[in-house]
């Protein structure tokens, strides 16, 4: 996939943020770590993962 515009980058980071909220937030809730705001931590991890993947994929291919 070729990323040519800012909209595509924002869409991918938003998608990974939502995935982080769902997956990591659910995982932290299941482990009973509610005092760390699991959805916020999940969103941060998802956004960082999305940005890292966007930066790393052009280097791989």
Let me know: does 42 contact 24? Beta carbons within 8 Å. yes
**CA–CA distances in Å: residue 32 to residues 42, 55, 59:** 14, 33, 38
Question: What pTM was estimated for this model as a whole?
Answer: 0.68
**Per-residue pLDDT tens digits for 9-50:** 788 888 888 888 888 878 878 887 777 677 788 888 888 887
* Size (the chain), residues: 61
Beta-strand ranges (E) seen in 1-61 are none
pLDDT the model gives residue 13: 81
pLDDT band at residue 60 under the 50/70/90 scheme = low
Largest interatomic CA distance in the chain: 41
């Amino acid at each position: 996939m070729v990323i040519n515009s800012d909209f595509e980058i924002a869409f991918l980071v938003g998608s990974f943020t939502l995935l982080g909220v769902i997956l990591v937030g659910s995982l932290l809730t299941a482990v009973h770590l509610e005092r760390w705001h699991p959805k916020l931590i999940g969103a941060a991890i998802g956004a960082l993962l999305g940005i890292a993947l966007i930066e790393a994929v052009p280097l791989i291919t």
